[in-house]
Amino acid sequence: MKNKITLVLGIVLVSISSHSQYKTFQNEEFKQWAQTPPMGWNSWDCYGPTVEEHEVKTNADYMAKELKKFGWEYVVVDIRWFVENDKAGGYNQTDPRYVMDEYGRYMPAVNRFPSAKDGQGFKPLADYIHKKGLKFGIHIMRGIPKKAVENKLPIKGTNGITADQVYSTALQCEWLRDNYTVLADKPGAQEYYNSIFELYAKWGVDFIKIDDLSRPYHEGEINLIRNAIDKCGRKIVLSTSPGETPISAASHVSTHANMWRMVDDVWDTWPHITHLMDVAQKWYPYIAPGTWPDCDMIPLGRISIRGERGKDRMTRLTKDEQYTLITFFNIFKSPLFFGGDLPSNDAFTLSLLTNKEVVKMHNESTDVKELFQKDGKIAVTSKAKDGSVYLALFNIADNASQKVSVNLSDLGISGSVDVLNMWTGEKSKVTSTEIGTDLKPHSSVLYQLKSKK
């Protein structure tokens, strides 16, 4: 069946006449917008490309009630919100019905997001979320829509340049064929990205996840995106995704994005976790306020209601594995985006997200370091504001329990040490020269250590 396209004409109810009316942010000012790692919910693990407005609102309601006071604030609509007839378990690439405006900019599908009627876009949904004291985010693919190219739609803000004049079929996304690459040096390329961020600023978008930027690393389009956000007049946190961002791009990505994915999608299987821990080893030096290496979404709670991987289920990870995952994400200071359906959380899942001491560590700790990763043992440490030390120990071996320990001198600690187990609340003392414990396979422990010299 031939692809269909729905054109939404005359969408701008209150026009944004020029960028000159709005503040242009200065070089790397964007880092101030995410001084602590962003925390929120993303619809992907639950709903794939099929999430609907009522589901977004229900998750936002839960976040406002249960999680906001712990720092969780972003509510993100993931992929293909502009397709009227997408499907679970993959993508409809046979006869997708796209929705876009006269300038080739995708618009929310009204059959899934009813409040977007009459060209309002995501503004009503963003307003709903903002009224709860939360922030609103969306996902897009890099590039320019194929349909905009085929129909030679004009690029807003140019004098007659059309979409077919700024694109290339080279390096088109291999797994989703909605868009073409934008050639960064073409007249109209910057204006296209400017035009979409002008639209998102009008809607009230606070966060954007942009896909297919990392493998290969699309430096040219990332530059266009950074420029467009800085010109749009709204503080929009930028997340680049997915895939293993090359370490050779570390200098560039850390001066252009607030967060960037280190690995492909992390699902609820143990090998996904161990692979993440392995790849993360090279990224510790780049953990810094405003720019965060990203471990991906948290595949806990109830996932895949209409998702990409498997059927509707509670996470397949054991409780020990769940503690290991959430401990690593927190001590690494990764952005935290929960992937499960929040209203379906049980008490245990909620407890993983609302531990005050763990949240404080995630927000405030500095000097994150891996001490070792060998023989199935991992130790990661960081420092607290009060001078105490955080220490996470992991046994990632598959078959054997083993003792994982660290010399206190390696932590800069000596003398008697007060120990807090941050998950159980248990307190103890250490008077020897090392701290450690026997850990079952796939399990972990998280300590706060205070020296009493």
Decide which of 451 and 73 is more confident: 73
Contact status, residue 255 vs residue 219, Cβ threshold 8 Å: no
Distance from chain centroid for Cα 11: 29
- Residue 414: predicted pLDDT: 85
Distance from chain centroid for Cα 439: 30
Q: List, in order, residues 6 or more apart from 113 with CB less than 8 Å away.
A: 52, 53, 81, 122, 125
Q: Which among 56, 74, 62, 60 is positioned nearest to 297, based on CA atoms? A: 74
pLDDT band, very low/low/confident/very high, at 243 (cuts 50, 70, 90):
confident
Q: Quote the percentage of the chain above a pLDDT of 70.
A: 95
Query: In this structure, what token pair is assigned to residue 88?
Result: 């679970």
Which residue type does 132 have? K
Q: How far apart are CA 109 and CA 396, in angstroms?
A: 44
Q: How far apart are CA 60 and CA 74, in angstroms?
A: 9
- Residue 379: predicted pLDDT: 98
Q: How far apart are CA 180 and CA 173, in angstroms?
A: 8
Contact status, residue 257 vs residue 238, Cβ threshold 8 Å: yes
pLDDT tens-digit map of 181-203: 999 999 999 999 999 999 999 99
Domains of the chain: 29-364 (3.20.20.70), 371-451 (2.60.40.1180)
Contact status, residue 88 vs residue 50, Cβ threshold 8 Å: yes
235-244 burial by CB neighbour count: b if 16+ within 10 A, else e? Answer: bbbbbbbbbe
Q: How far apart are CA 269 and CA 392, in angstroms?
A: 21
Mean pLDDT calculated for residue range 268-272: 98
Mean pLDDT calculated for residue range 323-330: 98
The radius of gyration of the chain from alpha carbons, rounded to an integer in Å, stands at 23
Q: How far apart are CA 183 and CA 212, in angstroms?
A: 15
Q: Which H helix or E strand runs over 349?
A: helix 347-353
Q: List, in order, residues 6 or more apart from 272 with CB less than 8 Å away.
A: 263, 266, 299
pLDDT band, very low/low/confident/very high, at 22 (cuts 50, 70, 90):
low
Cis peptide before 108 (omega within 30 of 0): no
Q: Which among 300, 137, 260 is positioned nearest to 204, based on CA atoms? A: 137
Decide which of 67 and 10 is more confident: 67
Mean pLDDT calculated for residue range 362-369: 98
128 pLDDT more than 80:
yes
- Residue 35: predicted pLDDT: 98
16 pLDDT more than 70:
no
Mean pLDDT calculated for residue range 399-409: 96
Mean pLDDT calculated for residue range 380-390: 97
What are the C-alpha distances in Å from 414 to residues 192, 291, 369, 405, 431?
58, 33, 19, 15, 9
Query: In this structure, what token pair is assigned to residue 62?
Result: 């839960």
- Residue 23: predicted pLDDT: 80
Q: How far apart are CA 42 and CA 74, in angstroms?
A: 8
